[in-house]
Structure 1
Amino acid sequence: MLPSYLEDTDLSSIKLVATDMDLTLLADDKSMPEGIDERIDALTEHGIVFCAASGRPALALRQSFPRHHANMAIVADNGASVYLRDELIYRDLLDKGLYHEVLARCVDSGRGIPVLCAFDDAYVLERDRKHEDVVGIYYRSIIYVDSFEDLDIESNKISMYFPDWDSKKQLDEVYGPEFGSRLYVTCAGDEWLDFMNIGINKGSGIRHLAENLGIDLADVAALGDTYNDIPMLDIVGHSYVMGNAAEHMHAHGKFLAPTNNEAGVLTVIDRIVEAAK
């Protein structure tokens, strides 16, 4: 069992707080914890940058923080794009031939709903419009197409939604073996797979952000709950695994935070703000 978050007592040097969204900052019902705006204000007042680090695209993250996106950081698309105070400071692009290969594999399999991510826009097959209630939670600007074959756009990520909630099985049996040597493939929850270039992940995104801010990774706190959070949790000085996370995640954190439904992120932020006073 990981030590409690209460045992992390050396918090005064923290300059950046990065949190995952789903099942970390957000409750199980996707709701934002009450009081997050006040916490971001408090961090900013003490010179600490708040960062949302997510597989979600930047547009959805900006809309999640309407009061603060211009004063915070965003690691979007699992590190494939990084923003600081609404300025794009890093982006990564997939090879077009490779993204067509992945999309075709998904279409031909008859399993999963492929989403081609192009920063603020997402391309989805017209046949999959019936899943808009789920896909639209994460991708706010959806362009429906009859086929991916003729698309020639700049893309930084591919996502696949699996209605059977078997993304780990798909990773282990299909997409990891077939594409794992050419792309970083990770579960973004039980129902999503994400594909980025090798070396692109939340950890690389946090590195780019820390370099831009001129701060050491030892002075970064990060909170997460699942596979795509591992690269971020593994590199920062203060890593918190959520109390609702699967036990295998404990190997990637230094401390255990309260659960997402207990607003555990806010609890940790309160301690960081108190230490900064």
Structure 2
Amino acid sequence: MYKIIACDLDETLLNDNAIICQRNKEAIQKAIEQGVKFVPATGRGYRSTQDILEELNLKDMAAEYVISFNGACLTENKDNTVLNFEGLTWETAEKLFELGQKYDVCIHVYSPDVLYVYHVDEDELNYIRLRYNFKIIDDQKNLEFLKGQKIPKVIYGSTDSEYLHQIAEELGSITDDLDVSYSSNRYMEFNKKGINKGSGLKKLAQKLGVSMDETIALGDNFNDLSMIQAAGLGIGMNNTNPKMKQECDYITEADNNQGGVAEAIEHFVLK
């Protein structure tokens, strides 16, 4: 029996309008009633998941959890209690911010409460408005204002994924001490080395005394790959990045707009 379902949010649980379809809600609720932990595992911060938790009747619930910032933070939903946090050093974030200004990318710098965005265009604004509490920092040339604060991760954003991979090559050894992943076909994400959704799922499973064989991971892109590989069952949505579909144990027939998460739960948990 599976005991934990770790599920990505954007382009997996949520449709293209950042909404949870009714089919997904019903399947998740049935799984929870059977004692399964449904755990959002997201690149977002945990405070940006509150509306989703409320829709799933998980907001402010004890013994329910969120893996956020790509695994940099593990929280219990009750009072948003932080159980584990492993972010970037300020020096690393500052270096990434400085280097990112040399490229035609939007830069995201995360604090626990606010997403700071630099060089953002209208397309990016339309995307993040649905998802984040953000502040534009185009007047900042460094991150002195964040010195001494927790910084979970940094992102470079561009809808040209080939350009992002080109940047990664040019950064070279700078990324040796980072965990680099890709999401939403528009972001290159930088976390502390060894910190990813897979490590977050392992920490939660260990805390709950659950074997990794008893976990399911659901996702659609490369920042989900670590947990898809770590879980007992790794499932990709029909809209999963084609380059990583072969890494999944199962690909749903439905995509994120059609209830792919529900399909997986119906097939492997409720059946």
Query: TM-score if structure 1 supplies the norm length?
Result: 0.85
How many corresponding residue pairs? 260
Shift of 1:160: 2.0
1:94 to 82, 88, 96: 88
Change in 2 beyond 3 A, CA 1:40/1:246:
closer
2:106 counterpart residue number? 113
Superposed CA deviations along residues 46-93 of structure 1, whole A, max 9, x for unmatched, are: 111001111111111122222323344211110011123333211112
Q: Which moved more, 1:85-94 or 1:226-235?
A: 85-94
**Please, which runs of 5 or more residues in structure 2 have no aligned partner?**
none
**AA at the equivalent of 1:79:** G
2:66 counterpart residue number? 74
2:115 counterpart residue number? 122
2:126 counterpart residue number? 133
1:56 counterpart residue number? 44
* SS of the residue 1:231 aligns to: helix
Change in 2 beyond 3 A, CA 1:120/1:267:
same
Shift of 1:22: 2.1
**AA at the equivalent of 2:6:** A
Superposed CA deviations along residues 210-262 of structure 1, whole A, max 9, x for unmatched, are: 11111011000111121111110111111112222233313322122222232
Change in 2 beyond 3 A, CA 1:247/1:190:
closer
1:84 counterpart residue number? 76
Identity in percent: 23
**Please, which runs of 5 or more residues in structure 1 have no aligned partner?**
1-12
Superposed CA deviations along residues 186-227 of structure 1, whole A, max 9, x for unmatched, are: 111221111100100000010111111110110001111211
**AA at the equivalent of 2:88:** L
1:232 counterpart residue number? 227
1:194 counterpart residue number? 189
Q: Does residue 40 of structure 1 match 2:32?
A: no
Shift of 1:138: 3.3
1:155 counterpart residue number? 151
Superposed CA deviations along residues 75-124 of structure 1, whole A, max 9, x for unmatched, are: 111001112333321111211111100000011x1411111101121223
1:7 counterpart residue number? none
Contact 2:220 2:240 in 1 (8 A): yes
Contact 1:123 1:142 in 2 (8 A): yes
Shift of 1:142: 2.9
Aligned counterparts of 2:182 and 2:36: Cα–Cα separation in 1? 30
